[in-house]
């Protein structure tokens, strides 16, 4: 019966790329291959978002606003580690997919091990800093003593799991590099019930267990991260899932490690630049009113549902483009990229349209105080879904070839030369900001109109830059050169 249900679900899912193929939007064979890789990534991303929501919900229910603020501040620091972890994962999927396409499984396994060493080297300092100086880190963001104390407790315990969290991100993308996105989905699915159960017991103090409050939330997340890391490691040592870790040598290959770092560095810069840009943008929204910040946050969270498939298609594109380049099949690599963008666009348009139709009921469901403004933000973000789908999916294709520098520049341009300057025009002329020791008044009093335009201009500029880079074919040369450099260590 379980097998029948699985077959029915799979048949229903396969109908989607088939329908797009009948409409002439998609090549059926490539579309099904892309979709099959993307779905588990989309599911995993949805579960990860739900885990974070559970944390906030339980802490709010048990401890109130100060604890929620503390959780948010602690989460901001975890975003920094997440950004670097995703960057390392990008380098990993790029080189693993290219070795896989070239039929060099031993080198792909060695690339996985290099990623493990890099994970330990990069994540351990974060864990140490978070453990030793948690309260001062929270103090940078707020002067509320209650929030500082609660946030320090949460951050200290959360950062212990940083190396484990890093490893789960890298391991998941490494398996995607060999075309296995289902195993990461199954493993990471375990985090939701574990996180929820441990949270409930420790936050509220169920049964004989004392109530630990916000510390319980941190412990729940830490336990889930450790469990996932252990399951990934066991899967690799078993050798049954496409990649294998072995106790026998060699264990270090500097040429592979250098290639992973080369690909990862621009992605790291892009991730950190995006995270850093959130702070001044939120400052601008805050000057327009607390209701604006709330409406923005709810609207963005709702439309994330329509944006999430693009992450899955980007991962599929990275895998398939990288494998085709490793197999020296440039034509197929190019087609996989374009087909990935087509299905990503179609999915984004469909989901975005549904959200637009249901914008008001969704705003009411989230309990928005200013329903009208929240609905407007839903419309604004929905209108940007097309640009996001193009930008993110092309970025994934370029990443598969190891071409991450141009998407990094696109992120810098979008955030710092377009979004922030345009959004600053929303401020009134009386608001001044410090820049290089000089106080300036950048605003023209354009209000929310400037905010809306800044969102669209940023996302569509990135889409145009990544699209132009993909059309240039320069990424093919970079992909071939990257494989050659990584192979050099075997000679």
Cα separation, 257 vs 255, in Å, equals: 5
Residue 371's pLDDT is 83
Residue 350's pLDDT is 93
Look at 242 and 128; give whichever has higher pLDDT.
128
Q: What percent of the chain clears pLDDT 90, i.e. is strictly above it?
A: 20
Residue 337's pLDDT is 92
Look at 88 and 483; give whichever has higher pLDDT.
88
Look at 70 and 389; give whichever has higher pLDDT.
389
Cα separation, 124 vs 396, in Å, equals: 28
Region 239-265 average pLDDT: 80
Residue 307's pLDDT is 86
Region 352-372 average pLDDT: 83
Q: Cβ–Cβ contacts within 10 Å for residue 227, how many?
A: 18
Q: Is the pLDDT of residue 488 over 90?
A: no
Name the band, by pLDDT with cuts 50, 70 and 90, for residue 12. Answer: low
Look at 223 and 269; give whichever has higher pLDDT.
223
Residue 335's pLDDT is 93
Angle between helices 330-357 and 28-63 (to 10 degrees): 50
Mean pLDDT rounded to a whole number for the chain = 82
Region 154-173 average pLDDT: 87
Residue 342's pLDDT is 95
Cα separation, 444 vs 129, in Å, equals: 41
Sequence-separated (6 or more) residues with CB below 8 Å from residue 387: 456, 459, 460, 462, 463
Residue 449's pLDDT is 93
CB-based contact 144:286 (threshold 8 Å): no
Q: Is the pLDDT of residue 61 over 80?
A: no
Residue 221's pLDDT is 86
Q: Is the pLDDT of residue 418 over 90?
A: yes
Lowest average pLDDT, out of 101-115, 355-369, 476-490, goes to 476-490
Q: What pLDDT, in 10s, does the model give residues 367-406?
A: 666 788 889 999 999 999 999 999 999 999 998 888 878 8
CB-based contact 452:229 (threshold 8 Å): no
Residue 343's pLDDT is 94
Sequence-separated (6 or more) residues with CB below 8 Å from residue 488: 255
Residue 427's pLDDT is 86
Residue 231's pLDDT is 92
Region 64-73 average pLDDT: 68
Residue 7's pLDDT is 65
Residue 459's pLDDT is 95
Q: Is the pLDDT of residue 489 over 60?
A: no
Cα separation, 383 vs 385, in Å, equals: 6
Closest CA to 301 of 370, 382, 221: 382
Residue 356's pLDDT is 93
Residue 345's pLDDT is 93
Residue 375's pLDDT is 93
Residue 169's pLDDT is 83
Region 175-186 average pLDDT: 82
Q: What pLDDT, in 10s, does the model give residues 288-301?
A: 876 776 677 778 87
């Amino acid at each position: 019966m379980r097998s029948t249900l699985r077959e029915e679900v799979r048949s229903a899912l396969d109908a989607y790329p088939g329908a797009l193929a009948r409409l002439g939007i998609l090549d059926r064979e490539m579309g099904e291959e892309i979709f099959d890789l993307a779905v588990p990534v989309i599911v995993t991303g949805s579960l990860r978002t739900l885990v974070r929501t559970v944390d906030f919900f339980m802490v709010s229910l048990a401890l109130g606003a100060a604890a929620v603020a503390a959780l948010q501040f602690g989460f901001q620091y975890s975003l920094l580690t997440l950004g670097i972890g995703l960057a390392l994962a990008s380098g990993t999927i790029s080189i693993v997919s290219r070795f896989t396409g070239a039929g060099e499984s031993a080198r792909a396994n060695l690339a996985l091990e290099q990623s493990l060493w890099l994970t330990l080297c990069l994540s351990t300092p974060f864990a140490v800093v978070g453990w030793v100086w948690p309260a001062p880190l929270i103090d940078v963001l707020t002067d509320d003593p209650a929030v500082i104390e609660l946030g320090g407790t949460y951050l200290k315990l959360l950062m212990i799991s940083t190396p484990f969290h890093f490893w789960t991100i890298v391991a998941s993308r490494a398996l995607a590099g060999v075309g296995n996105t289902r195993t990461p989905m199954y493993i990471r699915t375990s985090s939701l019930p574990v996180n929820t159960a441990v949270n409930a017991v420790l936050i509220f103090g169920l049964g004989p267990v004392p109530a630990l409050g916000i510390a319980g939330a941190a412990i729940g997340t830490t336990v889930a991260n450790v469990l996932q890391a252990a399951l990934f490691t066991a899967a690799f040592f078993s050798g049954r899932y496409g990649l294998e870790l072995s106790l026998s040598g060699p264990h270090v290959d500097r040429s592979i490690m250098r290639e992973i770092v080369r690909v990862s560095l621009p992605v790291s810069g892009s991730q950190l630049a995006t995270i850093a840009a959130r702070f001044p943008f939120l400052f601008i929204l805050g000057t327009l009113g607390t209701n604006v910040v709330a409406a923005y946050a709810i609207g963005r969270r709702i439309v994330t549902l329509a944006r999430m498939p693009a992450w899955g298609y980007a991962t599929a594109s990275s895998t398939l483009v990288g494998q085709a380049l490793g197999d020296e099949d440039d034509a197929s690599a190019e087609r996989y990229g374009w087909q990935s963008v087509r299905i990503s666009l179609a999915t984004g348009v469909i989901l975005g349209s549904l959200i637009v139709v249901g914008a008001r009921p969704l705003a009411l469901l989230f309990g928005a105080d200013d329903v009208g403004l929240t609905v407007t933000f839903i419309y604004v973000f929905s209108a940007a879904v097309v640009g996001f789908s193009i930008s993110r999916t092309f970025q994934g294709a370029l990443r598969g070839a190891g071409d991450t520098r141009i998407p990094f520049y696109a992120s810098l341009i979008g955030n710092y030369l377009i979004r922030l300057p345009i959004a600053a025009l929303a401020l009134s002329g009386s608001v001044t900001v410090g820049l290089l020791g000089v106080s300036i008044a950048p605003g023209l009093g354009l209000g929310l109109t400037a905010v809306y335009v800044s969102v669209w201009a940023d996302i569509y500029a990135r889409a145009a830059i990544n699209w132009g880079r993909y059309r240039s074919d320069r990424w093919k040369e970079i992909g071939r050169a990257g494989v050659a450099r990584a192979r050099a260590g075997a000679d």
